[in-house]
């Protein structure tokens, strides 16, 4: 049977009647005209009305290899024919075992064990539980607290959002979130002070701290806030010296986004636990949590020491097969090396953007460029959304983070598309700050 094909108006009608959208105020949704994406290709999204939009954020930071890569489509089809799903409890299969070996090979040295889950949030949940249980195995039962940074985002399940430091995301759930110790964000000018604060905390309270959790070099959801690799390097030293685990969440920064395959590499750091998601498996949800042998080995020695934890789709063969092909494409097409010249274009464009009156601050790292609009009023600011509307009119999807306007395009975006995207960003910002409405 052919799937029913709906008109654009029907899609919007059914959507408004029944779909609850993520991160979207209900009233706003009901009163604004949505884009209706009918298909996507490369760095472009195509509306059902035929309009093309450049995908300025790689579809929520996922489509590092763009849309519709022919090798990924082929692997998806092939894997469905062979094995679409089976449990991972008591069963091994080729995609998940081969992928584990490949992930161990590409990630920082020393991470030898892979626990699979469903997405970025669960990759973090797994990390939290592994950290807690590891300290129980080691007899340090007081080590139950976590430290995370102001503005952190580690996902939306209850455990992951307990680590989160974005107030508006936490507030409704504060009563059930677990206690997390907050450390200051290492902003450029305040980096030394921020390091001292977390250093003092770790020194003073390491007996009760299970782990420090960070997004390496860039806090994505907080507004593409960037910090120096030096902070991460020193954080690794201080956590190691005081027996505190370091959990690095590369769900966003991994897979070349910051100019190296993993952001940790820029600080020459191996964390105790590494979380992966998003670009990991191209377009099928999947998470992976990598740990050291030292952690894994504490789970030996009896049934009560097992990790009694797992998700239904752990290591699902389709996601794993895609994730393997993603890594093969990175290698064959030299994806990360080829971002160097594109990152320079992003950097130059945002430098120029910084000179526009009304733009408070700009920053770039690898394939990320961000600009804070003046008078920025945080996540609920409206100026970013005016830029969004201007950009839509000019042919780009540029969802802001409050009053931070950013690009984070597919790493494989062509130079022409990238230049077009950067021109749209500039024109849209100019149109917004130029109208005197900020």
Residues of the shown chain interacting with ligand PLP in the complex, contacts defined by CB under 6 A: 119-121, 124, 153-155, 215, 220-221, 249, 251-252, 277-278
Nearer to ligand PLP, 95 or 120 (CB): 120
* Separation CA 240–CA 117 (nearest Å): 27
- 130-134 own/partner pairs: CB under 8 Å, 24+ apart: 130/273, 130/289, 130/291, 130/295, 130/307, 131/210, 131/211, 131/245, 131/247, 131/272, 131/273, 132/210, 133/298, 133/299, 133/307, 134/210, 134/245, 134/295, 134/298, 134/299
> How near is the Cβ of 427 to ligand PLP at its closest, in Å?
28
Nearer to ligand PLP, 215 or 403 (CB): 215
Question: Which SS3 state, helix, strand or coil, does residue 22 take?
Answer: coil
Q: Give the CB-nearest residue to ligand PLP.
A: 120
> How near is the Cβ of 62 to ligand PLP at its closest, in Å?
8
> How near is the Cβ of 78 to ligand PLP at its closest, in Å?
25
> How near is the Cβ of 364 to ligand PLP at its closest, in Å?
18
Cβ–Cβ under 8 Å, residues 161 and 177: yes
Nearer to ligand PLP, 215 or 325 (CB): 215
Question: Which SS3 state, helix, strand or coil, does residue 148 take?
Answer: strand
* Separation CA 345–CA 348 (nearest Å): 5
* Separation CA 246–CA 236 (nearest Å): 7
> How near is the Cβ of 155 to ligand PLP at its closest, in Å?
3
> How near is the Cβ of 55 to ligand PLP at its closest, in Å?
16
Token pair 């949704």: residue: 29
Token pair 């907050």: residue: 182
Cβ–Cβ under 8 Å, residues 249 and 219: no
Nearer to ligand PLP, 199 or 402 (CB): 402
Nearer to ligand PLP, 154 or 363 (CB): 154
Q: Please, where are the H alpha helices in 107-228?
A: 120-137, 158-163, 167-170, 191-205
Nearer to ligand PLP, 213 or 359 (CB): 213
Nearer to ligand PLP, 404 or 428 (CB): 404
Residue 111, beta-bridge partner list: 292
> How near is the Cβ of 45 to ligand PLP at its closest, in Å?
19
> How near is the Cβ of 134 to ligand PLP at its closest, in Å?
21
* Separation CA 402–CA 333 (nearest Å): 35
Nearer to ligand PLP, 260 or 428 (CB): 260
> How near is the Cβ of 392 to ligand PLP at its closest, in Å?
23
Question: Which SS3 state, helix, strand or coil, does residue 393 take?
Answer: helix
Nearer to ligand PLP, 199 or 256 (CB): 256
What DSSP element (H or E) covers 292?
strand 287-292
Question: Which residues have a Cβ under 8 Å from the Cβ of 130 and sit 6 or more positions away?
Answer: 115, 273, 289, 291, 295, 307
């Amino acid at each position: 049977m052919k799937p029913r094909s709906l008109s654009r108006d029907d899609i919007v009608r059914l959507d408004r009647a029944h779909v609850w959208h993520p991160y979207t105020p209900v009233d706003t949704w009901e009163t604004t005209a949505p884009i209706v994406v009918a298909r996507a290709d490369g760095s472009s999204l195509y509306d059902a009305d035929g309009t093309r939009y450049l995908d300025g954020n790689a579809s929520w930071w996922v489509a590092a290899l763009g849309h519709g890569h022919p090798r990924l489509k082929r692997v998806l089809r092939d894997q469905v024919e062979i094995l679409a799903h089976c449990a991972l409890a008591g069963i091994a299969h080729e995609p998940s075992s081969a992928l584990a070996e490949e992930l161990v090979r590409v990630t920082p040295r020393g991470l030898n064990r892979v626990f699979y889950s469903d997405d970025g949030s669960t990759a973090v949940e797994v990390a939290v539980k592994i950290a807690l249980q590891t300290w129980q195995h080691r007899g340090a039962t007081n080590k139950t607290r976590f430290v995370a940074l102001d503005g952190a985002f580690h996902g939306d399940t209850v455990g992951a959002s307990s680590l989160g430091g974005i107030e508006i995301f936490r507030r409704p759930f504060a009563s059930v979130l677990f206690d997390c110790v907050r450390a200051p964000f290492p902003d450029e000018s305040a980096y030394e002070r921020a390091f001292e604060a977390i250093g003092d905390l770790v020194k003073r309270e390491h007996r009760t701290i299970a782990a420090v959790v960070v997004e390496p070099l860039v806090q994505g959801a907080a507004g593409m806030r960037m910090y120096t690799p030096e902070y991460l390097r020193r954080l690794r030293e201080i956590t190691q010296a005081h027996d505190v685990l370091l959990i690095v969440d590369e769900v966003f920064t991994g897979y070349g986004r910051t100019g190296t395959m993993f952001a940790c590499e820029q600080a020459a750091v191996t964390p105790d636990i590494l979380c992966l998601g998003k670009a990991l498996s191209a377009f099928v949800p999947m998470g992976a949590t990598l740990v050291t042998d030292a952690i894994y080995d504490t789970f030996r020695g009896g049934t009560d020491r097992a990790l009694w934890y797992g998700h239904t789709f752990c290591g699902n063969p389709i996601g794993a097969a895609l994730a393997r092909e993603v890594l093969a494409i990175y290698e064959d097409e030299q994806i990360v090396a080829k971002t160097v010249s594109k990152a320079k274009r992003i950097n130059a464009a945002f430098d120029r953007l910084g000179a526009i009156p009304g733009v408070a601050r700009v920053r770039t790292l690898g394939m990320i460029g961000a600009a804070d609009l003046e008078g920025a009023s945080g996540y609920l600011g409206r100026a970013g959304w005016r830029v969004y509307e201007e950009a839509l009119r000019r042919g780009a999807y540029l969802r802001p983070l409050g009053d931070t306007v950013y690009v984070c395009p597919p790493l494989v975006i062509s130079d022409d598309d990238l230049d077009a995207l950067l021109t749209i960003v500039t024109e849209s910002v100019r149109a917004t700050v130029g109208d005197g409405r900020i």
